[in-house]
Structure 1
Amino acid sequence: MCEEQNKIVVATVVNHIIPHKGDQSLFWDKSNWQAVCKLHHDSTIQRQEKQNIVVGCDESGFPLNPDHHWNK
């Protein structure tokens, strides 16, 4: 199951909730692991990390990114 998307698909990638950036203790910390599908990891999660943005919306449909123009 892809934990991030709450979808029942094969989760073949371990995402680090807090990017480890080479920190071995953070890399191997199981509480920092999240099972996700490869598609989600290689698209949404990588985009969020590289652009330092939050992608998605809350249950009301408002963007999670505080810098989004709808939140201003």
Structure 2
Amino acid sequence: MDGTPERNPRRIGLVVNHIVPHKGDQTLFWDRSNWEPLCHDDHDITAQREEHGRDTNGADIDGRPIAADHPWNRSRL
């Protein structure tokens, strides 16, 4: 994900991402209108986080959590 050309031949192509996670639903899994091509890195990192309910945009530019109720942001006594 740093912009260098991929040298691993198994990761050069694109993979299919399901726009709406199929969660085992075979109809949704094979629905081509629910497919989008992604590079391996984007799929493996971003899409998988989304599928598992992890927020991918939950940090500021410095990597600090932005949610007010996150322990990092709670006021310390």
Aligned-pair identity in percent equals: 49
Q: What is the TM-score of this pair, normalised by structure 2?
A: 0.53
- CA-based RMSD: 2.3
Larger radius of gyration: 2
Q: What is the alpha-carbon distance in structure 2 between the residues aligned to residue 26 and residue 45 of structure 1? A: 16
Deviation readout 1:12-33 (Å, 9 max, x if unpaired): 1000011111111101111100
Q: What is the TM-score of this pair, normalised by structure 1?
A: 0.57
Q: What is the number of equivalent residue pairs in this alignment?
A: 51
Q: Which runs of 5+ in 1 are unaligned?
A: 1-9, 63-67
Q: What is the alpha-carbon distance in structure 2 between the residues aligned to residue 22 and residue 55 of structure 1? A: 23
In the alignment, which residue of structure 2 is the partner of 1:37? 39
In the alignment, which residue of structure 1 is the partner of 2:22? 20
Q: Which runs of 5+ in 2 are unaligned?
A: 1-11, 61-65, 69-77
